[in-house]
């Protein structure tokens, strides 16, 4: 099979083929995520030295920064699947978007939580109205809005399409929100605290952070594929191939 | 000409009805029959383009009504008059205002005199300037009929048009429908009751029926 | 090894509460999420099996 | 023909709002009450009031237009008029745009006109009042245009009102920032040009994409 042919992709966009593919891929991703996580934490906690200014407290970045990245990447992924779903009417995209949302919301929450725990010892306050923190908060709200909307609509197709539209509208807004909060922040000089990290980050710290980021990536992929499999079973429960799977288990 | 080809509709994993096909020529009437809950309303909404079909296609004058052909869709909509369960009348507006605004939204030009004339034919002349809120249920139905009589759409798609009509209104509606068909219009409707349509020359309008069955 | 004792490791130079508060909540969230996904999957399979047996 | 239909919808909706006065007025009244409650909660210190005025008035306008948003499509959805609009040969975004304009005329414009009066309660200077009015004039249409998408998506959905706020309020952040920011900039002696230009720059795409996205959302809701 040729990856560059449309038929290859269309084949795996079908629920049955994707169910099989996801079933084969997710355990590998999960295992790799575990390995990278252990490696990253080992580098972060056992190898990386204390930071000159922040002491041991800086070690929060090993989850904070990757979680923030993931929260943004996942929202972009949701928007991507939504565009795909609305233009090509593929059944898979709605399921993918729905499966991504809870994990995205979790990472947004973790980013806020760890940010607050980092802020308290470093700046003496749990929360500052900084552009990045505020945008992250709004992003968290956008996730909640998506989840609330899709779960409030009973009709599955309508839910998928309505969710897709709001995901796209949200994704267009994220940069505008970030820009506006940043502008607002420069106007209110008093509250601003420089969040820029020292430019010379120790090599090993960077590696720890990158490994953790990759761990979160793979964790997300594994979990999302797993969730999509559940959704596929649910939505395709009337089809012969799902019946066959059920029979096998029973 | 309207052609419905193998339309199917899935609701919650289960096909609602066996695929439906028929075609409707100018001057023809088609009565859509089937048990309660078989999906007659769903089919009408699919044909109009409000809902999506899970299979098959609807053609207007031989061209498929799909996103790829916006000009066909536009021509179809210009020729379509759909009446669903809702009357789309505003209680706060008067009968005449309802008719005039509706025509404009549907992209048609309707003069005040013509609208008044139609209301008069329905026996609503004295009610034309009252807000619909104070009219009786029957008078509201007749306002809706007056609106129907004013449309110049070629294809009428009516969902249970005879339900809860008094004898007088029923007669008026029969005349309106017969006129429409006689002038070369197309009529597609669902109904639980059998209704005859009489031409001006006293002959009966030929009504074909399409039976919808469970899948 | 850069840590001389476990207590020093847990203390994190005085930042223990913050660092382990972050790590702990992260781990807990992920664990809950994984557990939820698993139970949803199994619950769903059980339901399908029931329906299947109902048909037989 | 197209514009005839457009203005017909505008006139019809304004007329309807006029005849259902109580509905439209309640949102405006809400704005007045909220603005009056703040000084009562914070204290009559004029310097404090002057400082919080832009934010308070803008948040009040935001919430009150949220309240009005819920009714944007509700009646037309309930009585079948939306179906007729969806089936009209006139492009649906145009008709939806007309509904939005009407909605703004009856729910947004009164806020703009009332704001200077409420601003007096907060001891805002004449220049600040003018800026506030201008900023609201540019900003409130954006609220109707962006909020319309949310209103369309939550049509007939259980818990629609709260859901609508959750969907739409985060999207209002930029308007709030630049709207309130314009007045603050005026008060603190900085130029307001930049803020107003940015509001303008947000309004223009919203004018185009708002009705488009809302019409799309309405078709989803009608299915």
A117 vs C: CB within 8 A? yes
| Residue A31 scores a pLDDT above 70 | yes
Neighbours of D176 (CB within 10 A): 20
Q: Which residue has the higher pLDDT, D184 or B7?
A: B7
C11 vs chain A: nearest CA distance in angstroms? 9
Show me where the domains of chain A are located. Answer: 26-48+60-235
B window 26-55, beta carbon within 8 A of A: 52
User: How many angstroms from the chain centroid is the CA of residue A177?
Assistant: 19
Tell me how far apart the alpha carbons of residues B50 and B76 are, in angstroms, rounded to a whole number. 13
**H or E segment to which residue B215 belongs:** none
Interface-testing mutation among B9, B12, B13, with chain A (most A C-beta atoms within 10 A)? B13
- Among the ranges given (A31-40, B125-134, D42-51, D213-222), the one the predictor scored with the smallest mean pLDDT: D42-51
Q: How confident is the model at residue C13 (pLDDT cuts 50, 70, 90)?
A: confident
Is D79–B107 a contact, with Cβ atoms under 8 angstroms apart?
no
Model confidence over A68-96: pLDDT tens digits?
999 999 999 999 999 999 998 888 999 99
Answer yes or no: do C22 and A60 touch at CB < 8 A: yes
D170, D184, D220: residue with CB nearest A141: D170
Contact call for D16 and B93, based on CB within 8 A: yes
- What residues of B are in contact with residue A157 (Cβ under 8 Å)? 52
Contact indicator for A104, A75 with CB cutoff of 8 Å: yes
pLDDT > 90 fraction of chain A, expressed in percent and rounded: 49
pLDDT in tens, B102-146: 999 888 889 999 999 999 988 898 899 999 999 998 899 999 999
Local confidence band at A10 (pLDDT 50, 70, 90 cut-offs):
low
How far is Cα B210 from Cα B212, in angstroms, rounded to an integer? 6
| CA distance linking residue D57 with residue D78, whole number of Å | 33
Query: Per-residue confidence at A193, pLDDT binned at 50, 70, 90?
Result: very low
Q: How many Å lie between the alpha carbon of C40 and the closest alpha carbon of chain A?
A: 7
Contact yes or no for A249 and C41 at CB 8 A: no
Q: How far is A203 from chain D (nearest CA, A)?
A: 38
Across the interface, of C3, C15, C26, the residue whose CB is closest to A55 is: C15
| pLDDT reading at A192 higher than 50 | no
Rounded Cα distance between D218 and D202, Å, is 23
Domains of chain C by residue range: 32-56
Q: Are D131 and D156 in contact (CB under 8 A)?
A: no
Residue C50 has pLDDT above 90, yes or no: no
User: Using 50, 70 and 90 to split pLDDT, how confident is the model at A1?
Assistant: very low
Q: How many CA atoms lie within 13 A of B206 on its CB side?
A: 6
Of all residues in chain C, the one with the smallest CA distance to A229 is C41
Distance from CA of D54 to the nearest CA of A (A): 13
Segment A194-239, tens digit of pLDDT: 445 444 567 888 888 899 999 999 999 999 999 999 999 888 888 8
| Percentage above 70 pLDDT, chain C | 95
Element (H, E) at A79: helix A61-88
**C3, C13, C18: best mutation site toward chain A, by most A Cβ within 10 Å?**
C18
pLDDT band at residue C35 using 50, 70 and 90 as cut-offs: very high
C-beta neighbour count of A174 within 10 angstroms: 18
Q: What is the percent of chain A where pLDDT is above 70?
A: 88
Percent of chain D scored above 70 by pLDDT?
Answer: 100
D8 and chain B: CB distance < 8 Å anywhere? Answer: yes
Interchain CB contact of D14 with B (< 8 Å): no
Question: What digits encode the pLDDT tens for the residues D1-38?
Answer: 788 999 999 999 999 999 988 888 888 999 999 998 98
Nearest to D213 among A157, A165, A183 (CB): A165
Helices (H), D70-125: 74-78, 81-87, 92-103, 109-121
Q: Which is more confident, A141 or A124?
A: A141
Residue of D nearest to A186 (CA): D181
Assess contact for D87 and B49: CB atoms under 8 A.
Answer: yes
pLDDT, chain B, mean: 90
């Amino acid at each position: 099979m040729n990856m560059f042919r449309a038929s290859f992709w269309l084949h795996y966009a079908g629920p049955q083929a994707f169910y099989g593919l996801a079933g084969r891929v997710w355990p590998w991703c999960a295992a790799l995520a575990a390995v990278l996580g252990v490696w990253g934490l080992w580098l972060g906690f056992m190898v990386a030295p204390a930071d000159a200014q922040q002491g041991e407290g800086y070690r929060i970045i090993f989850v904070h920064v990757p979680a923030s990245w993931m929260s943004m990447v996942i929202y972009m992924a949701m928007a991507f699947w939504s565009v795909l779903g609305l233009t090509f009417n593929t059944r898979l995209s709605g399921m993918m978007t729905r499966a991504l949302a809870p994990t995205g919301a979790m990472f947004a929450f973790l980013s806020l939580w760890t940010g607050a725990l980092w802020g308290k010892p470093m700046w003496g306050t749990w929360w500052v109205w900084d552009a990045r923190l505020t945008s992250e908060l709004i992003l968290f709200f956008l996730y909640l809005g998506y989840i609330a909307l899709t779960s409030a609509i009973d009709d599955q197709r309508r839910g998928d399409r309505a969710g897709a539209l709001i995901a796209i509208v949200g994704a267009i807004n994220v940069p505008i929100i970030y820009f506006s909060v940043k502008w607002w922040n420069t106007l209110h000089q008093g509250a601003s605290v420089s969040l820029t990290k020292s430019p010379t980050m120790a090599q090993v710290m960077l590696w720890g952070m990158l490994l953790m980021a990759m761990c979160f990536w793979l964790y997300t992929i594994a979990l999302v594929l797993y969730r999509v499999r559940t959704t596929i079973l649910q939505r395709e429960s009337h089809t012969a191939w799902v019946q066959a799977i059920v029979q096998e288990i029973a | 000409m309207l052609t419905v080809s193998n339309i199917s509709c899935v609701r919650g994993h289960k096909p609602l009805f066996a695929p439906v096909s028929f075609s409707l020529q100018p001057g023809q009437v088609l009565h859509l029959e089937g048990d309660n809950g078989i999906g007659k309303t769903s089919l009408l909404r699919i044909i109009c383009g409000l809902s999506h079909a899970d299979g098959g296609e609807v053609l207007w004058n031989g061209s498929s009504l799909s996103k790829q052909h916006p000009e066909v869709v536009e021509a179809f909509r210009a020729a379509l008059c759909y009446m669903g369960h809702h009357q789309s009348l505003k209680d706060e507006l008067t009968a005449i205002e309802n008719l005039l605004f509706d025509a404009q939204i549907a992209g048609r030009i309707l003069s005040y005199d013509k609208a008044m004339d139609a209301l008069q034919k329905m026996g609503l002349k004295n009610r034309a300037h009252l807000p619909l809120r104070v009219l009786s249920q029957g008078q509201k139905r007749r306002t809706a009929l007056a609106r129907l009589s004013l449309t110049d759409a070629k294809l009428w798609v009516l969902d249970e048009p005879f339900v809860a009509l008094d004898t007088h209104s029923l007669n008026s509606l029969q005349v309106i429908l017969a006129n429409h068909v006689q002038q070369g219009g197309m009529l597609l409707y669902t109904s639980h009751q059998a209704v005859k349509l009489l031409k001006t020359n006293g002959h009966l309008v030929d009504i074909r029926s399409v039976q919808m069955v469970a899948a | 090894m850069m840590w001389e004792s476990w207590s020093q490791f847990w203390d994190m130079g005085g930042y223990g509460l913050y660092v382990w508060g972050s790590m702990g909540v992260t781990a807990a969230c992920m664990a809950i999420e994984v557990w939820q996904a698993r139970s949803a999957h199994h619950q769903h399979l059980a339901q399908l099996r029931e329906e299947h047996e109902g048909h037989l | 023909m197209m514009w005839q239909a457009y203005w017909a919808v505008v006139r019809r909706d304004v007329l309807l709002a006029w005849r259902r006065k109580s509905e439209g007025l309640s949102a405006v009244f809400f704005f007045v009450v909220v603005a009056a409650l703040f000084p009562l909660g914070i204290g009559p210190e004029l310097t404090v009031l002057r400082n919080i005025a832009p934010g308070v008035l803008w948040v009040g306008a935001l919430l009150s237009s949220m309240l009005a948003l819920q009714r944007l499509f509700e009646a037309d959805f309930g009585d079948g008029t939306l179906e007729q609009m969806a089936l009209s040969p006139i492009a649906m975004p145009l008709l939806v745009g007309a509904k939005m304009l009407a909605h703004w005329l009856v729910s947004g414009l009164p806020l703009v006109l009332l704001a200077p009066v409420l601003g007096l309660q907060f001891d805002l200077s004449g220049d600040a009042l003018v800026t506030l009015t201008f900023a609201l004039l540019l900003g409130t249409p954006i609220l109707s245009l962006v909020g319309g998408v949310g209103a369309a998506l939550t049509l007939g959905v259980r818990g629609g009102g709260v859901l609508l706020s959750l969907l739409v309020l985060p999207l209002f952040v930029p308007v709030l920032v630049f709207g309130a920011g314009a007045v603050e900039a005026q008060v603190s002696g900085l130029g307001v040009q930049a803020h107003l230009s940015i509001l303008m720059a947000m309004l223009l795409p919203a004018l185009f994409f708002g009705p488009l996205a809302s019409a799309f959302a309405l078709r989803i809701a009608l299915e």
